[in-house]
Structure 1
Amino acid sequence: MKIAGIDSCPLGWVVILHDYKKFSFEAVKSIDELMELHPDLNRVFIDIPIGLSSIDFTRTIENKLRKELGNRSSTIFTPASRKAIYASDYDKARDINKRVLGKSISIQSYNISKKIKEIDQFMVYKTDELEIYESHPEICFKYLNDLDVIQTKKSTKEGFEERFQLLKQHYPQLEKLYQNIIQTFTKSKVKPDDILDAMVLCVSNLKSSPSGLNFIEDEHNIDEKGIFIKVAY
C-alpha cells in the first residue's frame, strides 16, 4: 500500500511517501503532477480543508479541533466559503464571505485559497481508488505524543527539534530523509517546517494502517457537494 502525507510549500506541495517499508519524498507544483508521478497512490493525509461552507451549510469542525489543542488552538484557522475561494481577488473574496458566512476573511486565509481550490476541484475527478483525507499536523503530533499537545511553536528551533525528535523516535530513518530533502530543495521552495508537517501526516497515515483510521468529526459533516468533512489523525 502506498500512502502519503502532504503539506503546502512555496513550490506547491511537499509529499512524504511510504511504500513497502520505505520512506521517500516528492515536491511538486500541483496535485495532478503528483498523481502523474504516483498513479498507484492509495491513501493521502493532507493539511488542507476538504469540504467547505456555503449559503446553506456552515463548516463547524474547527470548533472541535480548537478544543483538541487547548491553548495551541491558534494553529487552527477557519477556511473561507467555497464561493470566496473561487473569487478573482481579495476584495471580492471578503465581500462574498461576508454574504455567505457573515464575516470577512484574513489575507492569510485568502492566500491559501488557491491551494484549497485546487483540492476542492481535485475531489470531483479523483479516482475512487485514492482515499484523500484532511488532516492537521498539530493534531497528529498530539496523538503521536501520547495525547500531550506540544506547546512550543514549530517555527522556533526548540519547537522544530521537539517535533523532529518525536518523529525520529518512531522512525529513525526520517533523519536521513530530511537531510536528502533539504539538500535537494532550497528553503525558498520547501521550508523545514513544511517537511516536518508532511512527515507527521505520513507517519499518522502509516500508523493508522494496522488499527484503522481515526477521525475527528462534527455534526455538520456533509457539504453541498456531498463531500464528507472529517479530520484524520
Structure 2
Amino acid sequence: MKQHSKQPGIGVDGCKAGWLRVVFDGQTAAMTLCQKLEEVASQTAEAAIFIDMPIGFVKAGAAGRACDQAARRYLSPLRHSSVFTPPCRAAVYAEKETASELNFRHTGKKLSQQSLNIIPKMRALDDFLQTQNPKEQGRWYEAHPEIIFATFNEEQPLIHKKKTRDGEAQRLALLQPYFPSLMDWYATARNRYLRKEVLPDDIIDALGLAVAAFLANQQQAEMIFFPAEAEYDETGLRMQMVGVRVEGCKSVRVGYNLA
C-alpha cells in the first residue's frame, strides 16, 4: 500500500519514572524518558500519539465507559482482565485516601489498587489535555497495548501474559515484521534504564503503540475503534480506544504445542 504520510508513529506508556515515549519511523525507534507530557508532545507536532492511559472519565453511574466494555469484549476470554475500570472524574481529582470511597458514592464501585496507583498519571494527562485546543486533543488516542497486540495477532488476544518470558517473546515476534532490527534495538533499550525506572514490558508496550501509530499514519493499517462511535465526557474529551487492522498479519504462538 502506498505511503501517504511521513509522520512517525508515537507510542507512550506511563512508567515508574515518568512517561516512556517511543518514536518509530519505519526503520528505527527513538526512546525517551519524559518527565512531563509537554515533553512527550514536543518535536512531534501533528503526529498521532497512542498512549496507554485513560482519556476522559464518567461523571457518575455504574455502567462506566463504553470503551472499557468494548475492549473487554474484544479481549475475552484471555486478556479481558487487563482492562481496568478508571475512576469517575471526581475521584481522579481526590486524594488517594478518599478516592475509592468517593468513586463508590458516584458509581457504586470501589477502586482497585491498580486504579489508585495510577491516579496521578491519569490526572496529569487530563490536566494536560484540558489546556490544549481541540486539534491537539484530537491527536491523542487512548490505546491499550493488549488491543494493539491482539490486532497484530489476527485479531486474537494473546495467550501469554506480558510479564512472562513467553509473553515477551510473543509480543516481540509480532512487531519484528515491521521493525527488522528490533532484537538488536531491544537488547540495547532494555539496559538503558534501571528497572525501578522503566520495566521491559513498558518498553515493549510503548514500542507496540508506536509501530501501530506509524502503520496507521502510513495507511498501511486501518484504525479501528472501541466502541465504533465515540462517547465524550463532560469536558469534551473523547472516550474511545484505538486499534489497527493490518492486512496480511500472521498470528504468533510461543511456548505451547499446536498439535
TM over 0.5, shorter chain: yes
Q: Is the 8 A contact 1:64 1:218 kept in 2?
A: no
The residue number in structure 1 matching 2:96 is: 89
Q: TM-score, normalised by structure 2?
A: 0.82
The residue number in structure 2 matching 1:26 is: 32
Instruction: Give the 3-state SS of the residue equivalent to 1:224 in structure 2.
Output: coil
**Matches of 1:34 and 1:213, distance apart in 2:** 22
Q: 1:12 to 1:98 in 2, by over 3 A?
A: same
Q: Is the 8 A contact 1:58 1:220 kept in 2?
A: no
159, 177, 197: which one pairs with 2:185? 177
The residue number in structure 1 matching 2:247 is: none
Instruction: Give the 3-state SS of the residue equivalent to 2:84 in structure 1.
Output: coil
**Matches of 2:76 and 2:26, distance apart in 1:** 37
**Matches of 2:84 and 2:145, distance apart in 1:** 13
CA deviation string 1:92-115 (max 9, x = no partner): 101210111111112221111111
CA deviation string 1:122-168 (max 9, x = no partner): 11123535610000111111111111211111111111111111111
The residue number in structure 2 matching 1:138 is: 146
Is 2:235 the partner of 1:225? yes
Instruction: Give the 3-state SS of the residue equivalent to 1:183 in structure 2.
Output: coil
- Please, which moves more after superposition, 110-119 or 214-223? 214-223
One-letter amino acid matched to 1:29 = Q
Work out the number of aligned pairs and report it.
231
**Matches of 1:125 and 1:231, distance apart in 2:** 21
Is 2:106 the partner of 1:103? no
The residue number in structure 2 matching 1:8 is: 14
Q: 1:129 to 1:22 in 2, by over 3 A?
A: farther
**Matches of 2:68 and 2:235, distance apart in 1:** 19
Q: 1:220 to 1:22 in 2, by over 3 A?
A: closer
Deviation at 1:176, TM superposition (A): 2.6
Q: Is the 8 A contact 2:26 2:178 kept in 1?
A: no
Deviation at 1:117, TM superposition (A): 0.6
Is 2:94 the partner of 1:77? no
**Matches of 2:83 and 2:231, distance apart in 1:** 18
Q: 1:40 to 1:21 in 2, by over 3 A?
A: farther
Q: Is the 8 A contact 1:4 1:201 kept in 2?
A: yes
RMSD: 2.0
Unaligned runs of 5+ residues in structure 1 are: none
The residue number in structure 1 matching 2:68 is: 62
Deviation at 1:169, TM superposition (A): 2.6
The residue number in structure 2 matching 1:52 is: 57
Deviation at 1:87, TM superposition (A): 0.8
Q: 1:41 to 1:27 in 2, by over 3 A?
A: farther
What percent of counterpart residues are identical? 31
One-letter amino acid matched to 1:162 = Q
Structure with bigger helix share is 1
Q: TM-score, normalised by structure 1?
A: 0.91
The residue number in structure 2 matching 1:125 is: 131
Q: Is the 8 A contact 1:61 1:218 kept in 2?
A: no
Instruction: Give the 3-state SS of the residue equivalent to 1:221 in structure 2.
Output: strand
Q: 1:218 to 1:53 in 2, by over 3 A?
A: farther
Is 2:163 the partner of 1:155? yes
